[in-house]
Amino acid sequence: MKLGILRTGAPPRGVDGFGTYPDMFRRLLGEDAYDYSVFAVDEGQLPSAPDACQAWLVTGSSSGVYDGTSWIGALMGFLNAAKGRAALVGVCFGHQVMAQAFGGQVIKSPKGWGLGEQTYDVVRREPWMDAVPQIRLPGSHQDQVVEPPPGAEVVAASDFTPFGALAYRDQPAISIQLHPEFEPAYAIALIENRRGSRLSEEEADRAVASYQGPDDRARVGGWIRNFLDAHSAGRGR
């Protein structure tokens, strides 16, 4: 299966040794699981056609969907062109930009930062999911989906993030606000990079402490693979 990774951001300067966001997704999903192609969307590079790959994965970014930059508008146009022609997966910014592109709303939340390991309740089990009541994953966001687009249903959420994971009924598409691709060491390095600037000492300490227990990165990575493989089987490899 051809999986195109739409890169929309990069680790900040000073957080080294973990690779790019596409690298993180390849490690999560399996280096040999798919025929990967990477497109630097944040630098203006878009695929030649929405069906050039069987599926597209939109990464995280430090940008906001409301920033008004040209590449974000171009990405939303591409996602609309790809609707129904390829499977879509969005993570963090990818979750937000998909919602915004398809008619939802995203804002910088007055609730502030969602940091550290976050727990979502599974509110609707999809065929690509196994039976668990909750998932726990790294989080790092200020923006939130506050109105899901038509055709999208919530599959996992928390009180802090009520629209935390969506499954679309009008196209093969799923998205999640949390970061299954973030290894705990990277997530902690990211927090330390922002300590004292974007994050207070108290916020940073609390977020770092949350990484002492296990999480569901492998499980949710498996969910994404199940979704992609089911779409591939339906369309032929």
Over the stretch 192-205, which tens digit does the pLDDT of each residue have? Answer: 999 999 999 999 99
- Structural domains of the chain, ranges and CATH numbers in brackets: 2-235 (3.40.50.880)
Cβ-contact 43, 93 below 8 angstroms: no
The predicted structure's pLDDT at residue 235 = 65
Assess contact for 92 and 60: CB atoms under 8 A: yes
pLDDT tens digits for range 44-82: 999 999 999 999 999 999 999 999 999 999 999 999 999
Q: Nearest Cα to 114, choosing from 205, 37, 177, 44?
A: 177
User: In 3D, which of 26, 25, 113, 100 has the Cα closest to residue 62?
Assistant: 113
In the structure encoding, which two tokens stand for residue 213, read together?
């227990």
Checking if the pLDDT of 37 tops 80, the result is yes
pLDDT tens sequence across 105-160: 999 999 999 999 999 999 999 999 999 999 999 999 999 999 999 999 999 999 99
Alpha-carbon distance of 190 to 182, in angstroms, equals: 10
Quick one: pLDDT at residue 4?
A: 98
| Residue 39: pLDDT band with limits 50, 70, 90 | very high
Active site positions, annotated: 92, 179, 181
Work out the burial of residue 122: count CB atoms within 10 Å of its CB; fewer than 13 is exposed, 13-18 middle, 19 or more buried: middle
The angle subtended at Cα 5 by Cα 235 and Cα 114, nearest 5°, is: 115
The closest alpha carbon to 35, from 52, 21, 49, belongs to 52
Length reported for the chain: 237
pLDDT at 232: 84
Q: How far apart are the first and last CA of the chain?
A: 6
